[in-house]
Amino acid sequence: MTAINIVWFRQDLRLKDNPALVAAAQNGLVLPIYILDDENSGNWKMGAASRWWLHQSLTELDKSLGHNLWILAGDPRQLLPELAQTHKAEAVYWNRCYEPWRTERDRKIKSTLEAAGTPAKSFNGSLLWEPWQNLKTDGTPYKVFTPFYRNGIAGGVDSHSVISEQAPLKLVDCQQTDDKLAKLDLMPSIPWYAGFTEHFNPGEVGAEDKLQRFIETGISNYKAGRDYPALNNVSRLSPHLHFGEISPHRIWNEAESAAQFDGAAVQAEHFQRELAWREFSYSLLYHFPTLTEDNLNPRFDEFPWHHDDELLQQWQRGETGYPLVDAGMRELWATGYMHNRVRMVVGSFLVKNLLQHWHTGAHWFWDCLLDADLPNNTCSWQWVAGCGADAAPYFRVFNPITQSQKFEAEAYIRRYVPELAKLPDKYIHEPSKAPGVELAAANVELGKNYPQPIVDLKASRERALSAYQTIKA
């Protein structure tokens, strides 16, 4: 077979269970490419942490392909037709993406390719349910999670069977020089990412290892343990899933298998619900493409935010005087990740106690998270602000002190806020209430080596509730 088929890798940086790659390999030689597209992404160009991950993931993918991955930067609307013409490609294959800017771009590319006589063939390699499949009976999208989930389960997961083995490939030799990846200049100029490698191993192998470790040691206590930031009961698969180093179908199937063990069915189902929340976010952004900027609930367009650069920066640096918030923000900076329970707490603190617009939190997370995923990031911030689908009620304000106590965050705080490490458990959640003798014994000087609280929780909660009252009508 001498026909050349281009496979355009995007958010599917894997060889196994890759429908587009399998289809292309069945029809001839494969020319695999990756294009860094900063031309069409607008405000959602990849953040610094994501670029670090992409560099590592492309390195691993290129190795898996015998260094035959073509790596380019520019506008795919121009580059793909040029490549197809140069190599006389029989067809171009890709797995679908669902962010608004990508779907618009991909429609244009498909039209251009097919006008030139080159078929463009797309597949589902990223979702359990396509956004146009899991709909209400009247054809409209769900805005509440539970019926979305139940309808999806009733209809079954997308039926493509997980392909556990790598498709046999015959590859077109890559003619690029050895510095093809370095030319993308993905590595951040500030080397703050040193701690990332302690927690993550980007690439398809790393994703599989992370999944197996979770199935063996984490899923058995997932439902309760996932809320405790000091425990190891979350999968940490989110960056691997975002970059497509593993498919949701593969993860879903492993959870199904784990559910067969005694007492594991409830745990596995709860984990699968979290996968379904990801699907819900994708569906929402697909059907409401302006969600990255616009409140789903338009009443919030009149919400009286109080923008304050100093408060925002104190939150970003993890210097709020509330240890659980500070631990979360410092975990984010040090590891590119934040525990999910803590994400809700720091998000609530920003938009409700500090009254900063949810946009500011979404953009900070976008730059700092390794798993920065546009649908999840957008919908999660709208949820915590109260303006999104199935959102937290406006009056639900997470108290960082009681959350810290309830979910036993002492070890978590000691790890990421080391200046408080010597405080007894009784006071580590709220150092400002510790007696002077305890502070002195722990070498804590409030206002010097650890900040005083930047807002009063009770007063700021009341201010938030008052602000929300102004838009209820």
User: Could you read off the pLDDT of 138-186 as tens digits, one per residue?
Assistant: 999 999 999 999 999 998 776 455 555 566 799 999 999 999 999 999 9
**What's the rounded Cα separation, in Å, for the pair 262 and 473?**
51
- The token pair at 29 is 């030689």
Domain membership of residue 100 (yes or no) is yes
Task: Kindly state whether residues 302 and 268 are assigned to the same domain.
Answer: no
Domain membership of residue 227 (yes or no) is yes
Which pLDDT score, from 0 to 100, does residue 166 have? 65
**What's the rounded Cα separation, in Å, for the pair 6 and 174?**
12
Phi, psi of 138 (to 5 degrees): -90, 5
In the block, residue with structure tokens 């058995």: 220
Q: What is the pTM of this model?
A: 0.95
- Report, as an integer, the average pLDDT of 343-361: 98
Residue at 433: amino acid letter: K
* Boundary residue ending a domain (89, 120, 151): 120
Domain CATH code at residue 262: 1.25.40.80
Total structural domains within the chain:
3
Average pLDDT score over the chain: 94
Residues with active-site annotation: 274, 277, 305, 340, 358, 381
**What's the rounded Cα separation, in Å, for the pair 447 and 149?**
47
122 pairs with which residues across the strands?
94
- Boundaries of domain holding 319: 298-472
List of residues 6+ apart from 161 with CB closer than 8 A: none
Q: How many helices (H) and strands (E) does the chain have?
A: 21, 5
Task: Kindly state whether residues 370 and 307 are assigned to the same domain.
Answer: yes
List of residues 6+ apart from 432 with CB closer than 8 A: 321, 446, 452, 453
- The token pair at 4 is 């050349």
Task: Kindly state whether residues 279 and 327 are assigned to the same domain.
Answer: no
Task: Kindly state whether residues 92 and 114 are assigned to the same domain.
Answer: yes
Domain CATH code at residue 320: 1.10.579.10
Domain membership of residue 170 (yes or no) is no
Task: Kindly state whether residues 222 and 248 are assigned to the same domain.
Answer: yes
Residue pair 258/218 in contact by the 8 Å Cβ criterion: no
Closest-CA residue to 169 (of 68, 81, 60, 34): 68
* Boundary residue ending a domain (287, 316, 335): 287
Which pLDDT score, from 0 to 100, does residue 189 have? 82
List of residues 6+ apart from 461 with CB closer than 8 A: 352, 353, 397, 399
Per-residue pLDDT tens over the stretch 308-347? 999 999 999 999 999 999 999 999 999 999 999 999 999 9
